[in-house]
Amino acid sequence: MGGHPDAEAGPRRDAALSTPEEPGAGAEDVEAAADGPALVTAGVAACAGVPVTVRLGQEVLHPSRAQYVEVARGLKEAGFDFCSDVCAVDYLRHPDRPLPAGVAPERFEVVANLLNLAQRVRVRLRVQVPESDPACPTLFYLYPGTENMEREAYDLLGVRFADHPDMTRILMPEDWEGHPLRKDYGVGRVPVQFKEAPGPR
Amino acid sequence: MSDSTDKTEDVAPEPRHRGIGVEETAEGRQELETVERTDPMELLIERGSVLRLPESAASDPELGDASFGEGETMIINLGPQHPSTHGVLRVMLELEGETVLRSKPVIGYLHTGMEKTGEELTYVQGATNVTRMDYLSPLNNELVFALAVESLLEVELPPRAVWIRMLMSELNRISSHVMWAATNGMDLASTTMMIFGFRERDLVLSFFEKTTGLRMNTNYIRPGGVAADLPDGWEDDVSAIVDTIETRIDDYDELLTGQPIFRQRTEGVGILDPELAVAMSASGPILRASGVAWDLRKSMPYLAYDEVDFDVIVGTVGDTFDRYAVRLNEIRESIKIVRQVVAKMPRGDYRVQDKKITPPPRGRIDESMEALIHHFKLFTRGFDVPVGETYVAIESPRGELGCYMVSDGANKPYRMHIRGPSFVNLQSVPALLRGGLMADAIAVLSSVDPVLGEVDR
């Protein structure tokens, strides 16, 4: 290990990166899932036909926005009665992330982590949300505990959750403009509210 | 879980018309069921314990009156500058006389954009950021961050690093719970308890200082292991700490558990059903106090928790007293774990021997050009993490502390989301407060144990 190892490490890892354009890049993941231990969502009818990947031992479903709530309802009936987390991700600068075949990448993703307390397994739902219409159905009526999490996702990333009972800002001030966790929202771009006296700079 | 299913089985098989009455409503004659017959989750959504008003409403009496003028209700603020709200939590309460109807925790006063900051810091620097979130359990924050990075890197840690992490995490749980006991005591007007709690916490913090150099925000657990090996004689230090705290816990027990005032203020106050606790995604001592035996250390073991023997403490009623009892006994379980860790601590490396992740020892830098280069690269650029996304969760003193991390192959996380247990647990507060007295609100808020640094992040 001599020379500049990091300089080599970067491109090598990029080469290994599978992009959705490459045929079968996502399909590999799906096959790997079929070979490995049985999927925890295998018996759930609502999940049939939903692209699924397993990586790092974590099962991820990729429902469309239309399927999202139905898949969650099916999972809830199958014992996934605890929604541990809902968050959103802005993929503006990382559009070529690996996704299974049949899932078109969009700018935003809503990520929900469901937990089956009886069988002690987790499953994650990743929903693609387009930039032109950053909205997603709410899980509030299935999991009331998602209320604050969805408000946070709306506040920081600007993804609206349709039919959410209280779609307001939660962390930022109510009159704040913009959504700070978006990738095009620069750090320090917005002037601070309370400034010191103007200095020599 | 068995508790909750038993309950529904008791209710469900009976014919549903038992509780039906016929009422004249705006929609004509309708058959109505009594509230007791309604599924608790349905009731929660229908009735709504959350006061869904804009934050400014409480300071605008006209708006408050206009929307909620019926009867004698009024809206008042508790906090953000109230000694019992633990930091800068503000709760808007809708009161009818002295009874709380709906309420809404208003948060964000401590929001400093730590998730955004986390995207600007390399994986090496990241631990310094996350450690500031839940400032009462900094080592747990570092742990979940490190585990998330290691999950993406797919590295395996040497056993000693794992056990050191477990030791520090449990000591941190003890310090966090005694700190909770202290503030809870203060909220319920037991100043003695406050002084006691701070005294015991200091024992643990002194050990942190000896081991990590800092009492809080230690930046000790880092991706790839821990920052330094345990100091010489740590076994004696740790044993002395847990021996002392064990006897002091008995003092707490004597001071509070049987005390009539304490019991009257906590028993039957702020009851949370197990079904509702699960529906509200509550975790940690709140969920367990409601009778759901869910502890990630036991249910989905991480580190080496499957190799130590401890019990999951579960409550029966789900009231404020149960939440106190669960925490108090969790300190005892943590002491049990710490003793086993002291006995079983393996020898070997305290961090993974991978030059790409772990900086070289200081001495090597003077001798080896390669070590110097690695040191320089690690502390300027950091290391790259393969493309992927992962969700890792641990049991922090407050509940499920999760980290969802997305990597785009660079040296900084593309997205780092922290699932803060305080943030999620706080939304159970309206359900806990509803129907209680204003004075109970203080006891209930305290029993939820929110740390605002983590709520607001």
Check residue A37 and give its pLDDT. Answer: 58
Mean pLDDT of chain B: 85
Q: How confident is the model at residue B285, as a pLDDT?
A: 92
For A172, other C-beta atoms within 10 Å of its C-beta total 17
Of all residues in chain B, what percent carry a pLDDT higher than 90?
38
Is the minimum CB–CB distance between A15 and chain B shorter than 8 Å? no
Architecture field, domain A20-162: 2-Layer Sandwich (3.30)
Q: Residue A138 in contact with residue A150, Cβ under 8 Å? A: yes
Residue B221: pLDDT band by 50, 70, 90 thresholds? very high
Q: How far is A33 from chain B, CA to nearest CA, in Å?
A: 16
User: Residue B168 pLDDT more than 50?
Assistant: yes
**Cβ-nearest to B409 among A6, A14, A58:** A14
Task: Work out the burial of residue A198: count CB atoms within 10 Å of its CB; fewer than 13 is exposed, 13-18 middle, 19 or more buried.
Answer: exposed
Cβ–Cβ under 8 Å, residues B341 and B163: yes
> Does the structure show a pLDDT above 50 at A73?
yes
Query: What residues of chain A lie within 8 A of the CB of B370, using their CB?
Result: 1-2
Bond preceding residue B105 cis, omega within 30 of 0: no
CA dist A72 and A112 (Å) reads 9
Tell me the residues of chain B between 410 and 449 that have a Cβ less than 8 Å away from chain A: 414-415, 417, 419, 423-424, 426-427
| pLDDT category of residue B365 using cuts at 50, 70 and 90 | confident
- As a whole number of angstroms, the distance between CA B115 and CA A75 comes to 29
Please state the domain extents for chain A.
20-162
Asked whether the beta carbons of B193 and B252 are under 8 A apart, the reply is: yes
* Residue B258 pLDDT greater than 60, yes or no: yes
Q: Report yes or no: A53 at the B interface, CB cutoff 8 Å.
A: no
DSSP tag of B424:
H
Q: Nearest C-alpha of chain B: how many angstroms from A16?
A: 9
Task: Tell me which residue of B285, B339, B289 sits closest to B309, measured CA to CA.
Answer: B339
Domains of chain B with CATH codes = 114-456 (1.10.645.10)
CA B138 → CA A30, A175, A190, B133, B168, distances in Å?
A: 38, 32, 30, 7, 10
Buried b (16+ CB within 10 A) or exposed e, B403-422: bbbbbbbbbbbbbbbbbbbb
CA B206 to chain A, closest CA, distance in angstroms equals 34
CA distance, residue B419 to nearest chain A CA (Å): 6
Residues of B in contact with A17 (CB under 8 A): 387, 409
Computed over its alpha carbons, how large is the radius of gyration of chain B? Answer: 24
Q: Find, among B17, B407, B90, the residue nearest to A55 by Cα.
A: B407
Across all residues in chain A, what is the average pLDDT? 77
pLDDT of residue A185: 82
ipTM reported for the complex, 2 dp: 0.82
The band of B340, judged by pLDDT with boundaries at 50, 70 and 90, is very high
| DSSP bridge partners of B95 | B74, B100
Q: What is the DSSP letter of B257?
A: I
Is B295 in contact with B138 (CB distance < 8 Å)? no
**Confidence category of residue B120, pLDDT binned at 50, 70, 90:** confident
Residues 81-120 of A with CB under 8 A from B: 81-85, 87, 89-90, 93-94, 97-98, 111, 113, 117-118, 120
The pLDDT tens digits for B20-61 are 667 777 777 777 766 666 666 666 666 667 777 766 665 655
Q: What element of type H or E holds A162?
A: strand A160-162
